[in-house]
A and B are shown apart, each in its own frame.
Chain A
Amino acid sequence: MSEQLTFRKGLKDGLPICLGYVSVSFAFGMMATQGGLPVWVALLISMTNLTSAGQVAGTTLLLSGGLYIEIAVTTFVINIRYMLMSLSLSQKVDAAMTNLQRWVLSFGVTDEIFAVAMQQKGEINARYFSGLILTPYCGWALGTFLGAAATGILPESLRSALGIAIYGMFIAIIIPPSRKSKPILRVVLLAGALSCLFTWTPGLNLLSSGWVIIICAVAASALAALRYPVAKEAQT
């Protein structure tokens, strides 16, 4: 009963991702306008970046006046995982996919879209993949717009409380795998502890948040990769 991988099926499979994205990007939109960016810039960031952690970190740096090189390196390090996903996808797409289609569709590789694409049996085609990207993309843009526009009309007490929303989502992403995997738990604890150390130690806290994230993430991941190498071919 293998369903045809049509554009329409792609749209449908993207719907659950779309709903999740509306809420995550809502928090991003609020964060951006609370930091002082106009609504259209928040929307522009979401529509050109389409990545949660990467654009939050990049926007945080923008708001604090970070250097271009910091913004570039932070965005690169946070999004480096997409390389692995795109690489896996390059083995999964059918031979009929043209280079132009690869150039366009690679824009839409996110954690969730990648996960759903890899769940399909056999190869995937450009029609299905474009549908799978389109629905979440619209949700990402819509949520950002709503969040950015809502900031101005929310009372101060609610805005303060919503400031924690995006971190709540990050915690929801890192805790469940940490519970199931000891190496991931160690990575999370080490990266978080290093980040606290850099933020609170006099002298070290002169480093901007961008570099702190890079140093902590690279150090924790490299140590874990040495001590707990993942089994070959193990893909999530």
Chain B
Amino acid sequence: MINYAYVLTGVLIMALVTYVVRMLPLVVFRRKITNQFIQSFLAYVPYAVLSAMTFPAILSSTASGWSAAAGLVAAILLAYKDKGLLTVALGATAAVFVVEQGMTLAGLPL
């Protein structure tokens, strides 16, 4: 059973924090950030966040570590070739699917 009070409060917190972060600078500040450290820090944050979210979580995102590893390799190869978001996502998905079907056919445990 879902604890709706908990989930909806959590969603409200996410929404409020996300909104305030976007709203404050546009409404309040009218000058540019000139501090080079903060500028640089903010420029690197998105990549650091996405990387920390992806690794190692991606390895446990499917039914088997082997299929996830295959999906990871496929995603990196496709992204390295500058393919779009959708292509990379579907390529990784296809790699996982093929490996899992192959393992099932070969009688290997997932």
Interface residues of A (CB under 8 A from B): 20, 23-24, 27, 36-38, 41, 44-45, 48-51, 53-58, 61-62, 65-66, 68, 71-72, 75-91, 93, 99, 102-103, 105-107, 109, 111, 157-158, 160-179, 183-184, 187-196, 199-200, 209, 212-213, 216-218, 220-222, 224-226, 228-230, 232, 234, 236
Contacts and interface: CB of A to CB of B under 8 A. Distances in A.
Given A90-B25, A194-B52, A195-B55, A68 B10 contact: yes
B71 A109 contact: no
Given A167-B75, A192-B55, A221 B48 contact: yes
A182 B44 CA distance: 12
A187 B88 contact: no
A107 B44 contact: no
A53 B14 CA distance: 12
B58 A164 contact: yes
Nearest to A61: B10
Tell me what chain B mostly uses at the interface: helix, strand, loop, or mixed: helix
Contact of A161 (B30, B36, B58, B100): B100
B60 to A, nearest CB: 9
Nearest to A20: B85
Interface of B: 2, 6-15, 17-19, 21-27, 29-30, 32-34, 36-58, 61-64, 67-68, 71-72, 74-76, 78-80, 82-94, 96-97, 100-101, 104
A217 B51 CA distance: 8
19 contacts: A36-B2, A53-B50, A62-B10, A71-B14, A86-B25, A86-B26, A102-B26, A160-B64, A162-B93, A165-B90, A168-B75, A168-B89, A169-B88, A170-B50, A170-B53, A191-B51, A221-B45, A226-B37, A229-B39
B48 to A, nearest CB: 4
Given A103-B27, A164-B71, A71 B10 contact: yes
Contacts of B94: 161
Contact of A37 (B2, B29, B84): B2
Given A48-B11, A167-B75, 18 more contacts: A23-B89, A53-B53, A54-B14, A55-B18, A58-B14, A80-B45, A82-B21, A87-B26, A102-B27, A107-B23, A163-B62, A164-B58, A170-B51, A175-B76, A192-B55, A195-B53, A199-B56, A222-B41
Contacts, number: 310
A225 B11 contact: no
B79 A172 contact: yes
B96 A164 contact: yes
